[in-house]
Structure 1
Amino acid sequence: MTNLKIKLLLVTVSLLTVSACGQDAEEHQEAPSSSIAETHAEQARDDHADDEHGDEHGESAEVHLSQDQIDELGIAISPVARGAVDGVIELPAEVGFDQNHLAHVSPRVSGIVRSVAVAEGDRVEAGDVLAVLNSRPLADAKASYLSARARLDLAESSFEREERLWERQISAEQDFLDARRALEEARIEVRSAGQQLDALGVDVSSLPRMVASSDESLTRYELAAPISGTIIERHAVLGEVLEEGAQPPAFIVADTDSVWVDAAIYGADLGRIRSGAPVSIDPGDGGPPIESTIDFVSPQIGERTRTGRARIVIENPGDRLRPGMFVTVFAAASDAQPTVRVPVTALQTVDGETVVFVRSADGFEVREVRLGRRSDRFAEILSGVSLGEMIATTETFSLKAELQKGEFDDGHAH
Structure 2
Amino acid sequence: MTNFKIKLLLITASVLAVAACSQESQDHQEEHGDTVAQAHSDSASDGHDDDHGDDDHGDDDHADGDGHGEDEHDDDEHGDERGEGVEVHLSQHQIDELGIVISPVARGAVDGVIELPAEVGFDQNQLAHVSPRVSGVVRSVSVAEGNRVEVGDVLAVLNSRPLADAKATYLSARARLDLAESSFQREERLWERQISAEQDFLDARRALEEARIEVRSAGQQLDALGIDVQSLPPVGASSDVSLTRYELAAPISGTIIERHAVLGEVLEEGAQPPAFIIANTDSVWVDAAIYGADLGRLRAGATASIDAGDGGPPIESTIDFVSPQIGERTRTGRARIVINNPGDRLRPGMFVTVYATATDALPTTRVPVTAIQTVDGETVVFVRSEDGFDVREVRIGRRSDRYAEILSGVEVGERIAVTEAFSLKAELQKGEFDDGHAH
TM range (shorter): 0.7 to 0.9
Q: How many residues align?
A: 368
1:200 has 2:225 as partner: yes
Structure 2: gaps (5+ residues): 1-68
Quick one: which of 417, 428, 431 aligns to 1:403?
428
Matches within 5 A, 1:139-218: 139-208=164-233, 212=237, 216-218=241-243
Q: Is the 8 A contact 1:406 1:412 kept in 2?
A: no
CA distance in 1, matches of 2:412, 2:238: 67
TM-score, length-scaled by structure 1 = 0.86
Q: Is the 8 A contact 2:120 2:348 kept in 1?
A: yes
Q: 1:217 to 1:349 in 2, by over 3 A?
A: same
Q: Is the 8 A contact 2:367 2:406 kept in 1?
A: yes
1:68 has 2:104 as partner: no
Quick one: which of 135, 149, 156 aligns to 1:131?
156
Match of 2:245 in 1: 220
CA distance in 2, matches of 1:257, 1:215: 44
1:310 shift after superposition:
0.4
Q: Deviations over 1:71-129 (max 9, x none)?
A: 11111000000000010000000000001111000000000000001000101000110
CA distance in 2, matches of 1:53, 1:185: 98
Aligned residue for 2:313, secondary structure, equals coil
1:333 has 2:355 as partner: no
Q: 1:208 to 1:390 in 2, by over 3 A?
A: same
Match of 2:419 in 1: 394
1:143 shift after superposition:
0.2
1:288 shift after superposition:
0.3
CA distance in 2, matches of 1:194, 1:229: 30
CA distance in 2, matches of 1:411, 1:381: 25
Aligned residue for 1:212, secondary structure, equals coil
1:50 shift after superposition:
8.4
Q: 1:210 to 1:85 in 2, by over 3 A?
A: farther
Aligned residue for 1:83, secondary structure, equals strand
Match of 2:398 in 1: 373
CA distance in 1, matches of 2:73, 2:111: 36
1:80 has 2:105 as partner: yes
CA distance in 2, matches of 1:370, 1:116: 64
| Amino acid in the other structure paired with 1:293 | T
% identical aligned pairs: 86
Matches within 5 A, 1:344-359: 344-359=369-384
Q: Is the 8 A contact 1:127 1:226 kept in 2?
A: yes
CA distance in 2, matches of 1:211, 1:141: 17
Quick one: which of 143, 146, 158 aligns to 1:118?
143
1:211 shift after superposition:
6.7
Q: 1:210 to 1:303 in 2, by over 3 A?
A: farther
1:99 has 2:121 as partner: no
Quick one: which of 305, 327, 331 aligns to 1:302?
327
Q: Is the 8 A contact 2:428 2:438 kept in 1?
A: yes
CA distance in 1, matches of 2:293, 2:98: 41
Quick one: which of 273, 282, 301 aligns to 1:257?
282
CA distance in 1, matches of 2:257, 2:358: 37
Match of 1:283 in 2: 308
Q: Over alpha carbons, which structure has the higher Rg?
A: 2
Match of 2:14 in 1: none
Q: Deviations over 1:362-399 (max 9, x none)?
A: 11111000001000000000000000000000111111
Higher mean alpha-carbon deviation, 329-338 vs 59-68, is at 59-68
CA distance in 2, matches of 1:211, 1:119: 38
1:270 has 2:295 as partner: yes
1:304 shift after superposition:
1.1
Q: Is the 8 A contact 2:86 2:436 kept in 1?
A: no
Aligned residue for 2:233, secondary structure, equals helix
CA distance in 2, matches of 1:53, 1:155: 101
Q: 1:358 to 1:211 in 2, by over 3 A?
A: farther
| Amino acid in the other structure paired with 2:345 | R
1:209 shift after superposition:
5.1
Aligned residue for 1:246, secondary structure, equals coil
1:208 shift after superposition:
2.3
Aligned residue for 1:222, secondary structure, equals strand
Q: 1:117 to 1:271 in 2, by over 3 A?
A: same
Q: Deviations over 1:306-355 (max 9, x none)?
A: 10000000000000000000000000000000000000000011001111
1:216 shift after superposition:
3.5
Aligned residue for 2:256, secondary structure, equals strand
Q: Deviations over 1:251-284 (max 9, x none)?
A: 0111100000000000110000010000000000
CA distance in 2, matches of 1:213, 1:371: 83
Q: Is the 8 A contact 1:85 1:341 kept in 2?
A: yes
Aligned residue for 2:347, secondary structure, equals coil
Q: Is the 8 A contact 1:155 1:183 kept in 2?
A: yes
| Amino acid in the other structure paired with 2:90 | L
CA distance in 1, matches of 2:275, 2:430: 61
1:411 shift after superposition:
8.8
1:169 shift after superposition:
1.1
Match of 1:243 in 2: 268
Q: Is the 8 A contact 1:357 1:391 kept in 2?
A: yes
CA distance in 1, matches of 2:234, 2:379: 77
| Amino acid in the other structure paired with 1:185 | E
| Amino acid in the other structure paired with 1:208 | P
